Structure 1
Amino acid sequence: MNKAIFAVLPVLVLAGCAIRQQVQAVPADLRELCVIENPGVRPGFVSELRSSLQARGYRVRMLAPTAKLDECPVTATYAARWTWDLALYMSYAEIRVYRDLRQIGSAVYDSTRGSGNPGKFIDAETKIRELVQQLFPAPAGA
C-alpha cells in the first residue's frame, strides 16, 4: 500500500502544477484589427502584441480603453498578469478577438496553477509572439 502511494504522489503533485495554453485561431480573411488598450497591463505587452500583429501583415489601430467592441469590424481585447515567485514572470495572458460583437478567436496562457513548475518562468515577449502566431496562423488577408 505504501509503495502505491509513493508511486502516485509525484503524479498528483505534477498535475497540480499544470500550465495551460489554449488557442482558438481566427479566420484567415482578416486584414485589419483594432485593439482596445488595457491600462491595467504593462505597456510592453501591448507593444509586443502590436508589433507581432504587424509582423504578420495586419494593420493595427489602437483604441482608447473606453472604446466599445463594435467600434471596428474586428476588435481585440487583452489582459495579462505578472506574479512574483523568486522572480517576476507573466503568469496569465489572454487575447480575445471579436467580429460584430461575436468572439471569433481567443488565446489564453495560464500558469497560475504552475506553482512548482519551473516552466512558468517564460520570456513574456516570446510567449506573446507565440500566442499571436497561433491565434493568427495565416498572414493578413491570406
Structure 2
Amino acid sequence: MKYLFAAASVLALAACTSVKVKPVDNGLAMHRVCIHNNPKVIVDDFVMVMEDGFQRHGIAAELYDRDLPPSCEYVVDYTALRSWDFKPYLSHAEIRITEHGRLVASATYHLNGKGGLDMGKWRGTKAKMDPVMDKLLAGFH
C-alpha cells in the first residue's frame, strides 16, 4: 500500500506546471513590440495568443520575419514545443523581450513530465498562456 501511495505521489508531482516570469518593468515606455517570427514553432495559434496578450495590456504587436524594422525598440523572441498524447498539446514555451539587445523580461511555461496524467495538459494554448502573458505584462493595463 505504501508503494502505491509513493507511486501516486510521484505521478502527481510529475504533472505539475512550472511558470517562471521576470515581468516587464512598468517604468518602461513599451507601447509597441516586434515579434520575431520563429518558423520552427508548429503551435499554430501561439503567435496569435501572444499578440492578444500584448493588445490586452495596451501594447501593439507587429510580426516580422527577417530584418528588424528600424522603428522597433522592443523585440520578442519565442519558442513553443508540442508533445503528443492521443493528440498534440503545448508542453513548453519561452518568451523573451529585449530592448536594443538587453533582456528586459522573460517568461517560461513548462509542463513537468509533459503533463503526466493531468487532464489539463490538453487545454488550449490560450488557456495556458494568457495567465503567463498577464504576469509578464502585469504593470501595463
**What band does the TM-score fall into relative to the shorter chain?**
0.7 to 0.9
Number of corresponding residues: 136
The one-letter amino acid paired with 1:104 is: V
The one-letter amino acid paired with 2:48 is: S
Aligned CA RMSD, in angstroms, stands at 2.3
TM-score, normalised with respect to structure 1 = 0.80
Partner Cα separation in structure 2 for residue 43 and residue 4 of structure 1: 44
User: Hey, what does 2:37 align to over in structure 1?
Assistant: 37
Matched, 1:11 2:12: no
What does 1:117-128 align with in structure 2 at a 5 Å threshold?
117-128=118-129
Partner Cα separation in structure 2 for residue 135 and residue 56 of structure 1: 10
Partner Cα separation in structure 2 for residue 8 and residue 44 of structure 1: 38
User: Hey, what does 1:82 align to over in structure 2?
Assistant: 82
Partner Cα separation in structure 1 for residue 131 and residue 59 of structure 2: 16
Q: 1:14 to 1:99 in 2, by over 3 A?
A: same
User: Hey, what does 1:57 align to over in structure 2?
Assistant: 58
Partner Cα separation in structure 1 for residue 106 and residue 90 of structure 2: 18
The one-letter amino acid paired with 2:93 is: A
User: Hey, what does 1:96 align to over in structure 2?
Assistant: 96
The one-letter amino acid paired with 2:125 is: A
How far did residue 62 of structure 1 move? 2.0
Partner Cα separation in structure 2 for residue 7 and residue 125 of structure 1: 34
Partners of 1:19 and 1:120 within 8 A in 2: no
Partners of 1:107 and 1:131 within 8 A in 2: yes
After superposition, what is the alpha-carbon deviation per residue over 1:30-64, rounded to whole angstroms, capped at 9, x for unaligned? 22211101112234211221122112111222221
Partners of 1:23 and 1:106 within 8 A in 2: yes
The one-letter amino acid paired with 2:102 is: R
Structure 2: segments with no counterpart, 5+ residues: none
Q: 1:122 to 1:4 in 2, by over 3 A?
A: same
After superposition, what is the alpha-carbon deviation per residue over 1:9-31, rounded to whole angstroms, capped at 9, x for unaligned? 32223223332111111111222
Partner Cα separation in structure 1 for residue 31 and residue 8 of structure 2: 47
The one-letter amino acid paired with 1:34 is: C
Partner Cα separation in structure 2 for residue 98 and residue 19 of structure 1: 25
* DSSP 3-state at the match of 2:50: helix
User: Hey, what does 2:117 align to over in structure 1?
Assistant: 116
